[in-house]
């Protein structure tokens, strides 16, 4: 099929493309021509007038919980991918804390099979240790052969320094990152950030140093081994500062943060809304400010949602009993545009780096190119549209987000990848 995207702005920081008012001709999902289209090109093509909209390399979310296998009542691979497409994401990496954990080639293959043929590319992060128990490292070579792009015991940090050292040494052979959920087990276990709000709300606190200590450990062991450490969902001021210093010293470390950690503070917990309970917890304004600085100065490489679906029966309970996590894959682009681009923390170029280029680099994945002959892997953005989040329209199986009814500026309007398009709430073949 011939498709023309008319009058779009092309933006691709990696290729140094920044062009306004171009047309793109796609034939069967492959870029045929960019720029100067003749009358014949347009003749039998389906034309989408995207005047003023931005076409950018498809966004990538490197921290998603798909819950399959194990908790298909909360999310499935397909539903999670549908939500990703609706959120303007063309590729994801899914986390291994499923039941069973992703620690064998069979589970990787199962997930890949579920995702086959979808618009959204599903990349698998495998457990760093068997059963995420922190005792024996997972069969990393075999897992890599099955296609995994990184390792993590997400939900918790790798249990001991000795195992982390071993995991880094082993994964280094394949240049794959160890993605760390940084939290000291002995200091963990609370329900919200330790601060004046936890004191006032009477909720068991998690001190920020629980995160800082493990970030410190990981930097030191990362430097010692030379392995690739990636800090997941960084949330504290001190952790950002330590990563900044480590990068200056040339240590191989990268970091991501989430939209909720750059948007909300622990003030949001005051309603006891369990959709403000996540791990790491929402922190203070000081932490948010440092995260914004870290995003701006490049300390924080990526933005990832930590999309964590939970069933209503699990979330509609007392705060102490509710599980951690919120859905986020459908609101992350809107939040990033509203909170970062429109508030002049990041340029649109910088945002594309954090949401498309950098995560793929960290996971050694190819970066979509804007060139003739390349498959179309696009996110199309309307950066000015003002819209209201409506969870009832979410494509995810779960609706546990604190952002329902929030007013945002800027949204993804379409995505294209794998010969498919998602636009106006529908999937179509290109």
Partner 1 sequence: MPLSSKHLLGLQGVPREDIQLILDTATTFREVLERPIKRVPTLQGKTIVNLFYENSTRTRISFELAEKRLSADAINFAVSSSSVSKGETFKDTMKNIEAMKVDMVVVRHFAAGAPHFLTKICNANIINAGDGIHEHPTQGLLDMYSIREKMRKLEGLKVCIVGDIAHSRVALSNIFGLKTMGAEVSVCGPLTMIPRYIEELGVKVIHNIDEAIQENDVLNVLRIQLERKAREYFPSIREYARYFGITEERLEKNGKEVLILHPGPINRGVEISSGVADGLNQIILQQVTNGVAIRMAVLYLLGTLK
Residue ranges binding partner 1 (CB under 8 A)? 194-196, 198-205, 207, 271-272, 313, 316-321
The least distance separating partner 1 from the CB of residue 371, rounded to whole angstroms, comes to 54
CA separation for the pair 33, 24 (Å, rounded): 6
CA separation for the pair 251, 50 (Å, rounded): 43
Pairing between strand 17-27 and 150-152? unpaired
Nearer to partner 1, 99 or 313 (CB): 313
Q: What is the DSSP letter of 44?
A: T
Dihedral, CA of residue 21, residue 23, residue 24 and residue 25, to nearest 10: 180
The least distance separating partner 1 from the CB of residue 389, rounded to whole angstroms, comes to 20
Nearer to partner 1, 26 or 201 (CB): 201
Q: What is the DSSP letter of 11?
A: E
Are 355 and 337 in contact by the 8 Å Cβ rule? The answer is: no
The least distance separating partner 1 from the CB of residue 288, rounded to whole angstroms, comes to 17
Using CA atoms, how far residue 259 sits from 221, 337, 364, 402, in Å, is 28, 10, 23, 11
Nearer to partner 1, 230 or 315 (CB): 315
Nearer to partner 1, 136 or 200 (CB): 200
The least distance separating partner 1 from the CB of residue 286, rounded to whole angstroms, comes to 13
Nearer to partner 1, 180 or 194 (CB): 194
The least distance separating partner 1 from the CB of residue 396, rounded to whole angstroms, comes to 22
Residue 41 annotated among the catalytic residues of the structure: no
Name 56's Cβ contacts closer than 8 Å, sequence gap at least 6. 11, 12, 348, 352, 356, 378, 379, 380, 381
Are 272 and 192 in contact by the 8 Å Cβ rule? The answer is: no
121, 154, 266, 306: the active-site residue? 306
Which sequence positions are flagged as catalytic? Answer: 306
């Amino acid at each position: 099929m011939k498709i023309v995207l008319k009058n779009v702005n092309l933006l691709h920081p990696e290729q140094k493309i920044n062009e306004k008012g171009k047309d793109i001709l796609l034939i069967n999902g492959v870029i045929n021509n960019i720029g100067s289209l003749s009358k014949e090109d347009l003749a039998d093509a389906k034309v989408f007038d995207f005047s003023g909209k931005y076409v950018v390399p498809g966004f990538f979310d490197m921290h998603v919980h798909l819950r399959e296998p194990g908790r298909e009542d909360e999310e499935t691979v397909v539903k999670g991918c549908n939500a990703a497409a609706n959120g303007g994401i063309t590729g994801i990496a899914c986390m291994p804390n499923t039941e069973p954990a992703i620690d064998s080639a069979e589970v990787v293959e199962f997930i890949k099979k579920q995702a086959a043929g979808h618009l959204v590319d599903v990349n698998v992060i495998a457990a760093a240790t068997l059963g995420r128990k922190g005792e024996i490292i997972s069969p990393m070579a075999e897992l890599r052969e099955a296609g995994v792009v990184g390792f993590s015991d997400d939900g918790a940090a790798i249990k001991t320094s000795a195992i982390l050292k071993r995991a880094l040494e082993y994964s280094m052979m394949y240049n794959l990152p160890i993605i760390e959920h940084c939290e000291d087990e002995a200091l963990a276990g609370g329900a919200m950030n330790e601060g004046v709000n936890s004191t006032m709300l009477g909720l068991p606190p998690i001190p920020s140093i629980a995160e800082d200590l493990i970030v410190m450990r990981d930097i030191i062991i990362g430097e010692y081994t030379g392995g690739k450490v990636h800090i997941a969902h960084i949330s504290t001021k001190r952790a950002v500062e330590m990563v900044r210093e480590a990068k200056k010293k040339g240590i191989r470390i990268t970091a991501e943060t989430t939209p909720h950690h750059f948007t909300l503070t622990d003030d949001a917990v005051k309603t006891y809304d369990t959709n403000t309970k996540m791990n790491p917890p929402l922190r203070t304004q000081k932490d948010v400010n440092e995260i914004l600085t870290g995003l701006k100065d490049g300390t924080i490489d990526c933005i990832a949602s930590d999309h964590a679906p939970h069933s209503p029966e699990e979330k509609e309970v007392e705060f102490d009993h509710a599980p951690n996590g919120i859905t986020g894959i459908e609101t992350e682009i809107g939040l990033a545009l509203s909170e970062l681009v429109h508030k002049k923390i990041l340029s649109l170029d910088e945002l594309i780096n954090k949401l498309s280029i950098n995560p793929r680099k960290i996971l050694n994945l190819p970066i979509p190119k804007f060139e003739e002959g390349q498959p179309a892997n696009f996110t199309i953005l309307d950066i000015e549209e003002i819209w209201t989040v409506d969870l009832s329209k979410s494509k995810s199986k779960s609706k546990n987000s604190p952002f329902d009814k929030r007013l945002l500026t800027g949204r993804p309007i379409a995505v294209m990848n794998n010969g498919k398009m998602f636009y106006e709430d529908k999937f179509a073949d290109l």
